[in-house]
Amino acid sequence: MILRLILGDQLNETHSWFGKSEDDVLYLMMEIIPEATYVRHHVQKLAGFFLAMRSFARTIESKGHHLFYIRLDDPENRQSFESNIKRVMTKFDITKIEYILPDEYRVDRLLADLSDRIDLPCSSVDSEHFLTRREDLGDFFASKKRMLMESFYRHLRKRDNILMDRQSPVGGQWNFDKSNRQTYDASIPIPPALEFDHTATEIIDMCRKMNINSFGYIEKDRFIWPIDRKQSLALLDYFLENGLPYFGSFQDAMSSESWSMFHSRLSFSLNTKMIHPGEVIQRTIDYVESSRKDIQMNQLEGFIRQILGWREYMRGIYWNLMPGFNDMNYFEHDRDLPKFYWDGQTKMNCMKQAICQSLYFAYAHHIQRLMITGNFALLAGVHPDQVDYWYLGIYIDAIEWVEKPNTRGMSQFADGGIIATKPYVSSANYIRKMSDYCAHCHYDHSKRAGERSCPFNSLYWHFYHRNRGKLEGNPRITMMYRVWDNMAEEDKRDIVQQAERYLMDLDAL
Ligand X SMILES: Cc1cc2nc3c(=O)[nH]c(=O)nc-3n(C[C@H](O)[C@H](O)[C@H](O)COP(=O)(O)OP(=O)(O)OC[C@H]3O[C@@H](n4cnc5c(N)ncnc54)[C@H](O)[C@@H]3O)c2cc1C
Binding stretches for ligand X (CB under 6 A) = 263-267, 270-271, 306-307, 310-311, 314, 365-366, 369-370, 374, 391, 395, 397-398, 402-403, 406-407, 410-411
Nearer to ligand SF4, 333 or 432 (CB): 432
- Which of ligand SF4, ligand X, none does residue 269 bind to, with CB < 5 to 8 Å depending on kind? none
In the bound state with ligand X, the residue whose beta carbon lies nearer, of 31 and 312, is: 312
Burial of 488 (0-12, 13-18, 19+ CB in 10 A): exposed
Q: Is 111 in the site for ligand SF4 (CB under 6 A)?
A: no
Which of 94, 240, 322, 428 is in the footprint of ligand SF4 by CB under 6 A?
A: 428
Q: Identify the CA nearest to 46 among candidates 212, 171, 170.
A: 212
Quick one: residue 254, left, alpha or beta (phi over 0 = left, psi -120 to 50 = alpha)? beta
Q: What's the closest the beta carbon of residue 373 comes to ligand SF4, in angstroms?
A: 11
Q: Is residue 306 involved in binding ligand SF4 (CB under 6 A)? A: no
Is residue 386 a contact partner of residue 366, using CB atoms and an 8 Å limit?
no
Among 454, 480, 495, 506, binds ligand SF4 (CB under 6 A): 454
- Residue type (1 letter), 239: F
Least distance between ligand X and beta carbon 205 (Å): 27
Shortest Cβ distance from residue 195 to ligand X (Å)? 14
26 sits in which H/E element = strand 25-30
Asked if 431 interacts with ligand SF4 (CB under 6 A), we say yes
* CA 204 to chain CA mean position, Å: 23
CA atoms 372, 378, 383, 384: torsion sign? positive
**Smallest gap, in angstroms, from Cβ of residue 89 to ligand X?**
34
Strands 214-215 and 41-42: parallel
Could you say which of ligand X, ligand SF4, none residue 267 binds, taking C-beta under 5 to 8 angstroms by partner kind? ligand X
Q: Which does 456 bind (CB under 5 to 8 A by kind): ligand X, ligand SF4, none?
A: ligand SF4
- 448 class by beta-carbon count within 10 Å (0-12 exposed, 13-18 middle, 19+ buried): buried
Contacted entry of ligand X, ligand SF4, none for residue 438, CB cut-off 5 to 8 Å set by kind: ligand SF4
Instruction: Please tell me whether residue 434 binds ligand SF4 under the rule CB under 6 A.
Output: no
Residue 14's SS3 state is coil
Residue closer to ligand SF4, measured from CB, 260 or 375: 375
d(CA 461, CA 332): 18
Nearer of residues 120 and 439 to ligand SF4, judged by Cβ: 439
Which of the stretches 21-29, 354-362, 398-406, 448-456 binds ligand SF4 when contact is defined by CB under 6 A? 448-456
Contacts to ligand SF4 from residues 341-360, by CB under 6 A: 348-350
Least distance (Å) between residue 451 CB and ligand SF4: 13
CB of 419 to ligand SF4, least distance (A): 24
The residue among 336 and 500 lying less far from ligand X, judged by its C-beta, is 336
Q: Which of 441, 471, 499, 506 binds ligand SF4 (CB under 6 A)?
A: 441
Smallest gap from Cβ 254 to ligand SF4, in A, equals 10
Give every CB contact of residue 165 below 8 A, 6+ residues apart in sequence: none
Three-class SS of 263-302: CCCCHHHHHCCCCCHHHHHHHHHHHHHHCCCCCCHHHHHH
For residues 343 and 293, give the distance between their C-alpha atoms in angstroms, rounded to a whole number.
42
Q: Is 438 among the residues that bind ligand SF4 (CB under 6 A)? A: yes
Q: Name 314's Cβ contacts closer than 8 Å, sequence gap at least 6.
A: 401, 402, 405, 406
Touching ligand SF4, residues 356-395 (CB under 6 A): none
| Least distance to ligand SF4, CB of residue 457, Å | 7
Which residues are bridge partners to 255 per DSSP? Answer: 258
Q: Name the 3-class secondary structure at 131.
A: coil
Query: Coil, helix or strand for 326?
Result: helix
What CA–CA distance (Å, rounded) separates 216 from 212?
13
Q: How far apart are CA 401 and CA 459, in angstroms?
A: 30
Task: Report the residue number, 207 or 379, with the smaller CB distance to ligand SF4.
Answer: 379
Please list, in sequence order, all residues whose beta carbon lies within 8 angstroms of the beta carbon of residue 336, skipping any fewer than 6 positions away.
382, 383, 386
Q: Which is nearer to ligand X, 368 or 467 (CB)?
A: 368
Candidates 181-189, 437-445, 464-472, 476-484: pick the segment binding ligand SF4 (CB under 6 A): 437-445
Helices 489-504/455-466 angle, 10° precision: 100
Q: Which of 443, 461, 463, 502 binds ligand SF4 (CB under 6 A)?
A: 443
User: Judged by CB, which is closer to ligand X: 17, or 310?
Assistant: 310
Q: Dihedral sign, CA of 183, 185, 186, 191?
A: negative
310 binds, among ligand SF4, ligand X, none (CB under 5 to 8 A by kind): ligand X
Q: Which is nearer to ligand X, 260 or 498 (CB)?
A: 260
Among candidate residues 398, 463, 394, 395, the one with its CA nearest the CA of residue 424: 463
Closest distance between ligand SF4 and the C-beta of residue 442, in Å? Answer: 7
Query: Which residues of the chain form contacts with ligand SF4 (CB under 6 A)?
Result: 348-350, 428, 431-432, 437-438, 441, 443, 445, 454-456
